[in-house]
Chain A
Amino acid sequence: MDKTVQEKILGIIGEKFESEILSIETPYDFLTIDFKRDHIIDLIKYLYDHPVAKFQYLTTLCGIHYPDSKQIAVMYQLHSLVNNWRLRIKIFLPEENAVTPTLTTVFAAANWMERETYDFFGIQFTGHPDLRRILNVEEMIIFPMRKEYPLEDQTREDKEDFMFGR
C-alpha cells in the first residue's frame, strides 16, 4: 500500500477520531493504528459506513498478550474490498480487567472470533450474544494463550530453557 493511500485512510479516520489515535506504524507496509479503547466500535462502525473507505470485511480478530506491560491487545484487521485497502487496529486492555464491547453488532463474523479470543485470552466482550468457550473444554479454568501458562511442564529439570538456547 503506497504512502498516499495510507495518508488518505488516516485522513478519513482523523476527521472524527484524531484525538483517539495513540500511535501509527506501518510495519511491512501494513497500516497499523494503536487506538484508545473507548471508541473502538464507533471507529469500526464509522469506517464501515464511510462512503469512500467502506471497510466492510473483517479479515480477522485476535488477542495478543504482552506480559511485560501487563496488557492484552485486541487486534482487528479490516479490509475494504472495494478499494483493496487493509487496515489493522489495535486496542490495549489491562490484564486483570480485559473488557471491551463486542463487534458482533457490526460483523456477524465477529461472533466466533470473539469467542475464540475469550477462550484463549479471557477477554470479556460485553454485549456478545453467546460468550462461551469454543475450542477448549467448558470446564477449563485458565486462559491458555496467556503467557503465564507455559507449554511444557515447568517442574522438569532436564528441560531447562538455557540448554536449548531459549
Chain B
Amino acid sequence: MADESIINSSTAVEEKKYSTLNLGPTHPATHGIFQNVLTVDGEVIIHSEPTIGYIHRAFEKLSERRPFYQITPLTDRMNYCSAPINNIGWHMTVEKLIGAEIPKRVDYLRVIIMELARISDHLICNTVIAVDTGALTGFVYLFQFRELIYEIYEEICGARLTTNIGRIGGFERDFSDKAWAKLEKFLKEYPEALKEFESLVKRNRIFMDRTIGAGGITAERALNYSFSGPNLRAAGVDYDVRVMNPYSSYQDFDFIIPVGLNGDTYDRFMVRQEEMWQSLSIIRQAIDKMPDGPHFSPNVPDFYLPPKEDVYNNMEALIYHFKIVMGETDVPKGEVYHCVEGGNGELGFYLISDGGRTPFRLHFRRPCFIYYQAYPEMIKGANISDAILTMSSMNVIAGELDS
C-alpha cells in the first residue's frame, strides 16, 4: 500500500511539462524580425511556430500601380544584402518582355556586378555564422571588404545598399576608371583575407563541433520544400539557374557548382565559401574577356532614359525622356517568367502585362519565403543554440521573406 502511494506520487512529480519560449520578434541573434514560438523540453525544441510578415510592404500590390522603371527600387528592398541581383533580374524580365537585344558588354558588366553582389551576400552570411558560434574576428575582418564592394557600387550608380543599379536596357554610364581600379583592388586584396578567414574557421574544432550535423535536411525533403540556391546545393542537388538556364551570357564563363553532402550548417557554410571563390574567378574572367561596345542597348529608346545632354539638345531624346518619365511608353501584352540565381536561390519574376503602363500582375518568387517554411522541421529535436545557427546559415533575409 505504502509502495503504491510512493510510485504514484513520484510519477506525478516527474510528469513532463513543456515550456513555451518566444524567440523573437526582435531577438539579436535572428538578424531581422522573425518570431518563433518554441515549445521546448529543457533545451530541446519539440515544436516551433514561425510568424512572419512583420515588414511586409505589399510590393506586389504597389507594382500594379507603377511604371516598369519605378519597380526597380522596390526590388532593392527584397534581398538587401544583394540588391543589384534583384535590380538586374527585374531589368532582364522587362527586357525579355519587350524583346530587347542586349549588347555583350552590358551582359559582362552585369555579370561583374551580380557576382560582386553574391560575394557580399555570402560574405555576410558566412561571417555571421562564425559570429553565432562565437568568432567575431572574421566578421569584423571581412566586413571592410563589403565596404569595398559598396564603394564599387557607389562608383557605378551612386548608391550603396539599395542600389537601384542600371536601367532597363543597360547601365546609365560605363564603369569609370576609378571603378575599375577599385575592382582591381578588391580582386587583389579579398582572396588573401578570405583565405585567412577560412583558415581561422574551416578546420576550427569548436566551429566544426557546433555546425556539423546541426540543422540538416535531406535532398528529398529539400526538393519537396522547393529549396534553391546554396541551401539546396548543400543538400547535394546541383541546381543552379546560372547553369540550368543561362542568362546574361553566363554560358561564356567557366565555373563549378559546389555541392554539399548532408545539408547541414557546415555544408551550407562550405558551399557559400566555395561559391565566393567561384565568383571571384567569374569576375576575373569577365574582366579579361570584356568586349567593347555600348554600355546600353540602342534598340529600346522607349525604355532607356537618354543621356541628359541629349535631352537638352536633341528633340527626339527630349520626347523619349518625357515619355519614359511620365510612363507613356507602349508595353507589349504578354506573360513572362524570368529567374536569376540570387544570393539565396532562384529569384523569379512572373510578370503579366496587359499593355497598360503598369504590370497587370507581378509575382516575385522569393527563395527565402519558400525555404523558411522548412525551418520548424529542421530544428525539431535540436537545441536552441543549434536553431540560431540553422537560421543564420539558411540566410533568411527579412526583406525577401516578407516582400
Q: Give residues in A with beta carbon < 8 Å to B.
A: 27-28, 30, 32, 56-60, 62, 64-65, 75, 77, 81, 84, 86, 88, 107-109, 111-113, 116, 120, 134-137, 144-145, 151-152, 164-166
Residues of B that sit less than 8 Å from A by CB = 52-53, 56, 58, 60-62, 64-65, 96-97, 221, 223-226, 237, 239, 244-245, 326-328, 334-337, 339, 346, 348, 350, 352, 356-358, 361, 363, 365, 369-370, 372-374, 402-403
Q: Contact: A27 with B334, CB < 8 Å? A: yes
For residue B373, which residue of chain A has the nearest CB? A112
Which residue of A60, A136, A145 contacts B365 across the interface (Cβ within 8 Å)? A60
With A81-B237, A112-B373, A165-B328 in contact, do A59 and B346 touch (Cβ < 8 Å)? yes
In angstroms, Cα B370 to Cα A62, docked, is: 12
State in angstroms the CA–CA spacing of A28 and B95 once bound together: 12
Known contacts A28-B96, A60-B348; is-contact A108 B337 (Cβ 8 Å): no
Residues of B within 8 A of A137 (CB): 53
Contact of B348 among A59, A112, A145 (CB under 8 A): A59
Least CB separation from B220: chain A residue: A56
The contact of B60 among A57, A77, A81, A145, by CB within 8 Å, is: A145
A136 and B370 form a contact (CB under 8 A): no
Q: Are A145 and B61 in contact (CB under 8 A)?
A: yes
Say whether, besides A57-B226, A165-B357, A109 and B96 are in contact (CB < 8 Å): no
Residues of B within 8 A of A57 (CB): 223, 226
> In the complex the two chains form, is A109's CB within 8 Å of B62's CB?
no
Q: Which residues from chain B contact A86 at a C-beta distance below 8 Å?
A: 337
Separation of A151 and B356 alpha carbons in the complex (Å): 16
Q: Quick check: A109 and B326 within 8 Å, CB to CB?
A: no
Q: Which residue of B lies closest to A68 (CB)?
A: B354
- Tally the A-B contacts, defined by beta carbons under 8 Å: 92
Q: List 8 A-B contacts (CB under 8 A).
A: A59-B226, A59-B348, A60-B350, A65-B361, A75-B363, A81-B223, A134-B53, A165-B328
Report whether A151 and B373 are in contact in the complex, using a CB–CB cutoff of 8 Å.
no
Residue among B237, B372, B402 making CB contact with A135, cutoff 8 Å: B402
Contact of B65 among A62, A65, A152 (CB under 8 A): A152
Q: CA A20 – CA B346 in complex, angstroms?
A: 31
| Docked pose: A27 CA to B244 CA in angstroms | 20
Q: A59-B365, A145-B61 are in contact. Are A28 and B373 (CB under 8 A)?
A: no
Contact B337 A109 (CB under 8 A): no
Interchain CA distance A27-B99 in the complex, whole Å: 12
> Complex formed: what's the CA distance from A57 to B227 in Å?
9
Tell me which residues across on chain B come within 8 A of A116, comparing CB atoms: 369
Not counting A30-B336, A151-B64, a sample of 15 additional A-B residue pairs whose C-beta atoms are within 8 angstroms of each other reads A28-B334, A62-B350, A64-B361, A77-B337, A77-B350, A81-B239, A81-B244, A109-B224, A135-B402, A151-B61, A164-B326, A164-B327, A165-B326, A165-B327, A166-B356
Residue in chain B with minimal CB distance to A88: B337
A75 / chain B contacts, CB cutoff of 8 Å: 350, 363
